[in-house]
A and B are shown apart, each in its own frame.
Chain A
Amino acid sequence: MARVLVVDDDPSLRRVLRVGLRARGHEVSVASNGEQGISQAALLSPDVIVLDLGLPDLDGLTVCRRIRAWSDVPIVVLSANDAEDRKVAALNEGADDYVTKPFGMAELEARIRTAIRHQRVEPDAPGGSVITVGEVSIDLVHHEAHIKGAPARLTSKEFGVLSFLMRNEEKVCTHEMILTAVWGAPYARESQYLHVYVNRIRQKLGADPGLHLRAVPGIGYVLTRKDE
């Protein structure tokens, strides 16, 4: 179904991921360190990379940054601890999503699918100026938002935050990413602004807008379509 590159230094984890991902129909290749991972990524051009942040030779964040320098292949990072700053850093370095060890096959599979879908959708996004998620649609060109067909009165920053999250549907966006995109780099650390604006947006979206605007504590926000 997809060609997955697993970059992990732990032999057992590599083996179990190979068997598990194959059982779900993926084609799997493996690399046991960062340098090897980067060259495999270039040689094989996989559909998605599963990258462990704790590698013996290179920091996972470095691997992420170096791959991002020439490729926007989706990257799902495996994190060994709950420390949020590493995950935030990975997302800021261009990772698409993260999974915290230990995780089940279904969870990893879901993240991989989302990352790949997002990757495929993105090239079309700039073309169509209207994005619709659930009952909410926004017109990027005319700066207009409609909720259940009725025009919504959003301030320009509210519109900025909502449109950023809708363009990155199902992807965890860090506070820093959203703040930099909407307010500019000097505001990258002012996450309290964001909490206030997201709260206002939620109020304006009203009850049951057909989407979830979910906070990921300590990391950022993710906008997802509400399951029917």
Chain B
Amino acid sequence: MRTKVTGAVVGVLAALALGGVMLPLRAHLSLATIALIFVIPVVAGVVIGGRPAGLISMVGGFLVYNLVFIPPYWTLAVGQAQHRAALVAYVITMLLVTEVVVRLEEARAAAQTREGNARHLFEMSEVLLGDKSIPELGDAIVHEMCQTFGLEGAALLVPVEGRLEVIASSGMPFAEGEMTSLPPSERPPVALSTSTSTASIQTLALSAAGRPIGLMLLHGLPDDPVGRELLPTVANHLALALERAELRERVHRVELLEEIDRLRDAMLGAVSHDLRTPLATIKIASSTLLDPSSSLGPDDIDELYLLIDVQTDRLTRLVNNLLDMTRIHTGVLEVRRVPSSLVDLVTAVTTDIAPMLEGRRVEVDIPAGLPLVDVDHVLVEQVLSNLIDNAHRHSPEDGLIVIAAERRGSDHVVVTVTDHGSGVPRSERTAVFETFVRFDTGGRAGLGLAIAKAFIQAHDETIWVEDPPGGGARFAFTLPIAREVHERSA
């Protein structure tokens, strides 16, 4: 409005000024020259104030031209016919000039708008194209919408199990009432609903290929035709970006399920191997013993009985391991700590599994003065026995296994089980503790180490594997030292 007034004032003043300047020269200037000079105020008016200002300037110019330069002077009356023709020509020319200038001006403004829109869309697509998860994308969208459209607030809602839920919002929070007053969004149109503009909130439905994707709430959308023109396109962009993110998450989920399937197959294969190998040994031994045609010496018979005995223990341990693994996975593992002597623990384990070790030498190196440890002795015995079993299976037949312990700091003991096998490559030091990670081709399940790790972690302690000097593998874990038990005095 202000530009229109300014334009009109400038146009009229310019006409008056030009009239004043040309007044002394009126005898020397032709009417055509003067009419040409009066184009200036009209153009000035239309450029500044548009069509209305141009028209007012033209009227001003006409009056000055007529009153000052067309005889008889200082009246609106026109004496000669040629003067009348000059006035008509002036009016027609000025109308045309006004129209041309206005159109040029409009075209320039439209080009500017288009450029602005293109820039906004480009900026928006930069944000939308990145490889983002749905929550990240939601945050980016509301932020960008607020920035681009100068909103007071924005929220993005997507359907979750049939209900719309806010996944991201920015700026001014929406009141509970404003949310619930929204129209149901089953309709999928890409449209700016103006019907809810009462609370200065507007909704923008997002859909892709006719499928509803979500809804945007826009708070305080400025009354700007350029922005409004842009909204449907932006809605399309947003819907496509959200759909893309959604599809990507679905693909990830499917991949995850496939991975779980693969691991489960690997585990079944590995467990099957671990169970069937001792069963095979037992079955061969028993069927040989039962076969009357076998020619067996007394030593052979003893060996077969021993093999059955040892393999039965192995199966028992394996079944225990499987049960332990189930306890760990179902979260029913309970740690019952009591002050325990490490020497007693180790002795119990080595005595228990001696037959399984088939005469292998095991050296125990625990200092006499080592304090008691505060542990669940059942779990720690299982850890030790799994580690010794692992060392036994990965060592050459005459390889020595060393079980050692030493105090570390004021409140911990480190226990180690060292073998002389081939060692664990640096790259596999985490994986050895993971169940069935490396065992795709039907190898062992490796339940023992996974259980050892879970039991040590249940004590809030750590377990790891390292290179001992001289080769082999050294599995080590920490245990907490029990607090001093003071004798109760009477």
Q: Are B296 and A16 in contact (CB under 8 A)?
A: no
Say if the beta carbon of B457 comes within 8 Å of chain A: no
Q: Which residues of B contact A103 (CB under 8 A)?
A: 280, 283-284
CB closest residue in chain A, given B279: A102
The proximity string for A residues 77-95 relative to B, scoring 1 for CB distances below 8 Å and 0 otherwise, is: 0101111001000000000
B442's partner among A17, A53, A105 (CB-CB below 8 A) is A53
Say if the beta carbon of A11 comes within 8 Å of chain B: yes
- Choose, from B109-117, B287-295, B427-435, B473-481, the stretch at the interface: B287-295
Say if the beta carbon of B131 comes within 8 Å of chain A: no
CB of B108, distance to nearest CB on chain A (Å): 70
The proximity string for A residues 15-53 relative to B, scoring 1 for CB distances below 8 Å and 0 otherwise, is: 111011011110000000000000000000000000001
Say if the beta carbon of A106 comes within 8 Å of chain B: yes
Q: Are A81 and B287 in contact (CB under 8 A)?
A: no
- How far, in angstroms, from A101 to B284 measured CA to CA in the complex? 10
Q: Which residues of A contact B296 (CB under 8 A)?
A: 19, 23
The proximity string for A residues 44-80 relative to B, scoring 1 for CB distances below 8 Å and 0 otherwise, is: 0000000001101001000000000000000000101
Q: Are A56 and B276 in contact (CB under 8 A)?
A: no
The proximity string for B residues 423-460 relative to A, scoring 1 for CB distances below 8 Å and 0 otherwise, is: 00000000000000000011100000000000000000
Say if the beta carbon of A190 comes within 8 Å of chain B: no
- How far, in angstroms, from A106 to B284 measured CA to CA in the complex? 9
Q: Are A81 and B288 in contact (CB under 8 A)?
A: no
Say if the beta carbon of B347 comes within 8 Å of chain A: no
Q: Which residues of A contact B293 (CB under 8 A)?
A: 24
CB closest residue in chain B, given A56: B443
Say if the beta carbon of B7 comes within 8 Å of chain A: no
The proximity string for A residues 184-201 relative to B, scoring 1 for CB distances below 8 Å and 0 otherwise, is: 000000000000000000
B273's partner among A16, A25, A81, A106 (CB-CB below 8 A) is A81
CB closest residue in chain A, given B392: A11
Q: A54-B441, A104-B283 are in contact. Are A80 and B310 (CB under 8 A)?
A: no
B284's partner among A20, A59, A81 (CB-CB below 8 A) is A20
Say if the beta carbon of A216 comes within 8 Å of chain B: no
CB of B286, distance to nearest CB on chain A (Å): 8
CB of A81, distance to nearest CB on chain B (Å): 4
- How far, in angstroms, from A153 to B364 measured CA to CA in the complex? 78
Q: Are A102 and B276 in contact (CB under 8 A)?
A: yes
Q: Which residues of A contact B283 (CB under 8 A)?
A: 102-104
Q: Are A59 and B441 in contact (CB under 8 A)?
A: yes
Q: Are A23 and B294 in contact (CB under 8 A)?
A: yes
CB closest residue in chain B, given A107: B287
Q: Are B288 and A80 in contact (CB under 8 A)?
A: no
Q: Are A23 and B273 in contact (CB under 8 A)?
A: no
Say if the beta carbon of A161 comes within 8 Å of chain B: no
A25's partner among B268, B295, B307 (CB-CB below 8 A) is B295
CB closest residue in chain B, given A106: B287
Q: Are A15 and B442 in contact (CB under 8 A)?
A: no
Q: Which residues of B contact A121 (CB under 8 A)?
A: none
Interface centre among A11, A15, A19, A108 (most CB of B within 10 A): A19
- Identify which of residues 273-323 in chain B touch chain A, using a CB-to-CB cut-off of 8 Å: 273, 276-285, 287-288, 291, 293-296, 300, 303-304, 307, 310-311, 314
Q: Are B307 and A81 in contact (CB under 8 A)?
A: no
Q: Which residues of A contact B397 (CB under 8 A)?
A: 11
Q: A80-B272, A102-B279 are in contact. Are A16 and B284 (CB under 8 A)?
A: yes
CB closest residue in chain B, given A81: B272
CB closest residue in chain B, given A19: B300
- How far, in angstroms, from A17 to B285 measured CA to CA in the complex? 8
Q: Are B272 and A22 in contact (CB under 8 A)?
A: no
Q: Which residues of B contact A106 (CB under 8 A)?
A: 287, 291
Q: Which residues of A contact B276 (CB under 8 A)?
A: 80-81, 100-102
Interface centre among A24, A25, A100, A101 (most CB of B within 10 A): A101
Q: A23-B288, A23-B296 are in contact. Are A80 and B273 (CB under 8 A)?
A: yes
- How far, in angstroms, from A81 to B281 measured CA to CA in the complex? 15
Q: Are A23 and B272 in contact (CB under 8 A)?
A: no
Closest 9 CB pairs of A and B: A23-B294, A104-B287, A101-B276, A102-B279, A80-B273, A101-B280, A102-B280, A102-B283, A20-B288
CB<8 Å pairs between A and B, sample of 6: A13-B280, A19-B288, A80-B273, A82-B272, A101-B276, A102-B284
Identify 15 new A-B residue pairs, CB closer than 8 A, beyond the known A13-B284, A17-B284, A19-B303: A12-B310, A13-B277, A16-B304, A19-B300, A20-B284, A20-B285, A20-B294, A23-B288, A54-B442, A54-B443, A78-B280, A80-B273, A80-B442, A82-B272, A102-B283
